[in-house]
Amino acid sequence: MNRGRDPAVSVVAGPASGDLAARVARRLGAGLVRAEARVFSDGETKLTLRGRVSTRCAVVVQSMEPPVDTNMMAALSLVSAASEHARMTVAVIPYVAYARQDRAFLEGEVVTMGVVGRMLKAAGAARILTVDIHSRAGLRFLGTRARNVSAVGALAAHFGKMKLVGPMVVSPDAGGRGRAEEFASHLGAPCIALEKKRDRRTGAVSIVTRDADVSGRDVILVDDMISTGGSIIKAAGFLRKRGCRRVYAACTHALLLGDAARKIRAAGVTRVVGTNTVGGEASAVDVSGVIAEGIDCGAPPRRGPLRGPAGR
């Protein structure tokens, strides 16, 4: 595998993020190493690296999108494999699964985000880069060498090219207000945040805000992720009842599980625009630029000789 010239930087493309990794590699002028994935009948994935991994810096790009545990395991395995060659391994996890499990909401709940952080470190990630991770608390679990970059500017630029009537930016919940305000400032549009309540046992959401003046306006709902679509559907229903014109949804991670896309359309949302942190029809906005800018291959935190399989 490691024949030929030693590149300064290698980008290792995980099976969930092949296209995004290739774009990041082009921007960095780095060599691209593809990871071939073969899934066995018991669900295990066998990964084979196709190309030379730099001894200096390896950047592993692998999202933890559904199937979450399979893609997380692939991320961990690729980070581990890359760190056997490179002095510096940067794990780029565009979508971090379990980031919503950053605290125990109900007694006895396991805070799985802590486990994700520990596993990435144990696998050999010297630095971690995420895109719009769900919360600061989630980022803290990834350790001090983790950094989050924002896709909000790229998403807002996409909407800036559209012909919108009196656009107004709306966060579907109070927690997303900062993100929505940042989006609105790029567009030069007003911004409000709705108050959402989620039943921690059933997961059902409801809007508790009483009123909002959105009449005649095109509204853009801005969220970090759309999973089942429940939050966006409730918010869209609320806004449409108050006489808005069109409703759009912008999010970084458009997971759109099951028939979420159909249900969101049926709720009167004209279009969902996401980014290529995850695959899918709505993932229209490219974030390879912000990722490439955020990668730091600088002074490697090297302790002793390179690790090999025998020394692990």
Q: Which residues are annotated as catalytic?
A: 196
Where helices occur in 31-85 by DSSP H, the ranges are: 68-83
Among 176, 274, 279, 294, binds ligand R5P (CB under 6 A): 176
> What are the backbone dihedrals phi and psi of residue 148, each rounded to the nearest 5 degrees, phi first?
-115, 135
Minimum separation from the CB atom of position 116 to ligand R5P (A): 16
Q: Indicate whether 225 belongs to the interface with ligand R5P (CB under 6 A).
A: yes
- Secondary structure (3-state) at 94: coil
- Do residues 246 and 225 touch, judged by C-beta distance below 8 A? no
Label residue 270 exposed, middle or buried (CB < 10 Å: 0-12, 13-18, 19+).
Answer: middle
Residue given tokens 């921007």 in the structure block: 27
> Angle at CA 20, nearest 5°, toward 19 and 21?
90
Return the number of the residue (231 or 276) whose C-beta is nearest ligand R5P. Answer: 231
Among 30, 164, 226, 290, binds ligand R5P (CB under 6 A): 226
Site string for ligand R5P, 193-212 (x = CB under 6 A): ------------x-------
Size, binding site for ligand R5P by CB under 6 A:
15
- Residue 150 has a CB neighbour count (10 Å cut-off) of 16
What sign does the dihedral 242-246-252-254 (CA atoms) show? positive
Return the number of the residue (218 or 224) whose C-beta is nearest ligand R5P. Answer: 224
Q: Indicate whether 228 belongs to the interface with ligand R5P (CB under 6 A).
A: yes
Piece of 38-46, 56-64, 83-91, 171-179 that binds ligand R5P (CB under 6 A): 171-179
Site string for ligand R5P, 97-126 (x = CB under 6 A): ---x--------------------------
Binding site for ligand R5P (CB under 6 A): 100, 172-173, 175-176, 205, 223-231
